[in-house]
Amino acid sequence: MSQDQPEDKQGMFGAHGTGDTSGYGGLVRSEVSAGSAQRPFGGYFDQVADDLERAYPDFADAIERVVVDRGELTLHIKRDRLVEVALILRDKLKFEMSMGVSGVHYPDDKNRELHAVYHLLSVTNNQRIRLEVSVPDTDPHIPSLVEVWGGSNWNERETYDMFGIIFDGHPGLTRILMPDDWQGHPQRKDYALGGIGVEYKGAVTPPPSERRSYK
Amino acid sequence: MSTYADPYASSRETTEGTVFSVTGGDWDSLVTEIGQAKEERVVVNMGPQHPSTHGVLRLVLELEGETVTEVRCGIGYLHTGIEKNIEFRNWTQGTTFVTRMDYLAPLFNEAAYCLGVEKLLGITNDVPEKANVIRVMMMEFNRISSHMVALGTGALELGALSPMIFCFREREKVLDIFEFISGLRMNMAYIRPGGVAQDLPVGAVDKILATVKDLRHSFKDNEKLLVGNSIWMKRTQGIGYLDLAGATTLGVTGPVIRATGLPLDLRKIQPYSGYENYKFDVVTADTCDVYGRFLIRINELEQSLRIIEQCAEKLKSLEGAPVMVADKKIAWPAQLAIGADGMGNSLNHIREIMGTSMESLIHHFKLVTEGFRVPAGQVYAAVESPRGELGAHCVSDGGTRPYRVHFREPSFNNLQATSAMCEGSMVADIIGAVASIDPVMGGVDR
């Protein structure tokens, strides 16, 4: 689904395909990916992009895509350029604070299954932008940003714990929320939620992951 | 160690050195034995079951005598998989999950989540004014109740018992307001995507104003107990030092960064829910220590009361105004009412869907079982919680359930500063430093 070409709206309860709205089709996940935005981006986003292009000559090579959606700017960055871009954003564009890393798993996004999303805040200019790095499931390595923003330490450990993304250069990449000997990475879409059905007077309520889906 | 074999207090040899288990009552023998060892360095596990670690925080301390040379935090003991569970419920049900993360500030969790969902839906500007005013008022009440716990338990951990009694007395008054308005004292799921769950009950504004007056009077008692108290100042001044550079790189927000002199408060710099319409000051300190953070929390109480009074003024002219978006494809259909057996579904609503309107019944059924669809995309919405920036990163795939919701929890990031604050200090000062961060483990571990 592309965000610059919104899907045809068929009402909030839109039935697609067979028109079966019983929901017994099981859990179906669809792909989420946004199209690139064209200039002008609006707001301070043009200013940020201009400053970054000026401060970083390899801009066109390092940035895969620029997305402006719902009043937020996302820069999709090649992983081998992440640290350079982050340093320039911190030192030249005054994005002093990283508000954390969150992983997202898109199993349908082939060769870009795992995304790491960084939320940056500039206190000086009162601006926010987002960096996004995508890596394949088979090679889940992203350079660590602990050297750039020290606070990324725990955030990267959490993303490793939950998604299995390996942050190269991290001073101690271990699990943080799950036990050390845990198998698997719970937030991935292929990791089952688990749970057991509950029976009451003969009727069984299935666990949440096996209930009907309306997608 | 004593000569007989005590099954509960023993020592054993490992590759890392001798490991002692302390169970209480055996302190003298333990000290004797450690005193005989050549090495000065002792590694102590503090927590996860320790009364002054704010729940289940585990601190691994490396000590040389009374000096702390290294501190490491162990977290995850309260991990409940809230972010995973949300993906299997619909968007509205998500509020009941997120409200349980940081259990001292449930309304902030709900607000951050709902602002994110509303941004995804593109209805941020359609949320009615009254809903925004109620949200702001409830959040400020929540800030007071959360700061009351921070101040009360913080003082208790440093040995001052009376402030805890006073603070919990004040907190109780705020919880009474929550119970009066939402029906619940905590984990209310009161703020919902599109507005709030229900309108204020009759007489709410008068009760709110009476409580504000009462609280303002009682806060003076708290101040008298601690502000300027020489023992308190000796335990807190110059302790847990973290300057602006350290706080910035560690992503620390809230009272901890405001104690370095930076007026970083999202309510002012990036207002949401109509915060730009209220008069209040951002409280800062320039001491970078535990005492500064304590003073900020004390002074923020008065600012919260100011905002609540302005909310009450606005609410007087908003009687009967809607508290949920007009779009019936998003607004929760069930109407709540107080019956003889307590709060439940409104009988008028049940009469309508069961007796008169088939379409209403279908609509109710579809919205409750299926939920509304949220257009695909991702957003980040942040609010200023009592502990700092609480952000919700919401991703939708266009379905009725969240694709991924990640919370940027202020406690999680702030807790990273423990090592920076404590290393090189005395053991006893760790307690004050951790208390000044005010971590809530439900939020840290989620």
Summarised one tens digit per residue, pLDDT across range A185-202 is 999 988 888 788 888 898
Structural domain contains residue B382: yes
**What local confidence, expressed as pLDDT, does residue A214 receive?**
62
pLDDT in tens, A107-144: 888 888 899 999 999 999 899 999 999 999 999 999 99
| Location of structure tokens 């006073």 | B166
Domain that holds residue B132: 82-330+372-445
The total number of structural domains in chain B stands at 1
Q: Does A14 touch chain B (CB under 8 A)?
A: yes
pLDDT in tens, B244-256: 999 999 999 999 9
Structural domain contains residue B48: no
Of A72, A151, A177, the CB nearest to B75: A177
- Report DSSP state, residue B39: -
Cα(A11)–Cα(B333) distance, rounded to whole angstroms?
17
Contact B189, B99 (CB under 8 A): yes
Q: How confident is the model at residue A1 (pLDDT cuts 50, 70, 90)?
A: very low
Go through chain A and tell me how many residues it has. Answer: 215
Number of A–B residue contacts, CB under 8 Å: 151
Using an 8 Å CB-CB cutoff, list chain B residues near A26. none
Contact B221, B166 (CB under 8 A): yes
Verify whether the Cβ–Cβ distance A70 to B377 is below 8 Å.
Answer: yes
Cα(B79)–Cα(A186) distance, rounded to whole angstroms?
12
Window A:72-101, CB contacts with B under 8 Å: 72, 74, 96-100
Sheet-wide strand order for A72-77: A63-69, A72-77, A127-135, A114-122, A97-105
Provide the CATH number for the domain around residue B234: 1.10.645.10
| Location of structure tokens 């606070």 | A151
Domains along chain A? 45-210 (3.30.460.80)
pLDDT in tens, B62-73: 888 888 999 998
Verify whether the Cβ–Cβ distance B251 to A151 is below 8 Å.
Answer: yes
**What local confidence, expressed as pLDDT, does residue B366 receive?**
81
Structural domain contains residue B72: no
CB atoms near residue B198 (< 10 Å): 21
**B296, amino acid identity:** I
Q: Which residues have a Cβ under 8 Å from the Cβ of A47 and sit 6 or more positions away?
A: none
pLDDT in tens, B428-443: 889 889 989 989 998 8
Using an 8 Å CB-CB cutoff, list chain B residues near A3. 376-377
Structural domain contains residue B3: no
Biggest alpha carbon distance in chain A? 69
Verify whether the Cβ–Cβ distance A150 to B249 is below 8 Å.
Answer: yes
Contact B103, B186 (CB under 8 A): yes
Verify whether the Cβ–Cβ distance A102 to B406 is below 8 Å.
Answer: yes
Token pair listed for B318: 């908003």
Structural domain contains residue B144: yes
Verify whether the Cβ–Cβ distance A69 to B377 is below 8 Å.
Answer: yes
Structural domain contains residue B116: yes
Predicted TM-score of the model (pTM): 0.86
Q: What angle do CA B169, B170, B171 make, to 5 degrees?
A: 90
Structural domain contains residue B294: yes
- DSSP characters over A153-192: HHHHHHHHHHH--EEET-TT---SSS-TT--S-TTSTTS-
Residue B133 has pLDDT above 60, yes or no: yes
Cα(B127)–Cα(A1) distance, rounded to whole angstroms?
27
**What local confidence, expressed as pLDDT, does residue B299 receive?**
92
Structural domain contains residue B338: no
Helices (H), B227-262: 230-236, 244-249, 255-258
Cα(B298)–Cα(B300) distance, rounded to whole angstroms?
6
Return the higher-pLDDT residue of B9 and B81. Answer: B81
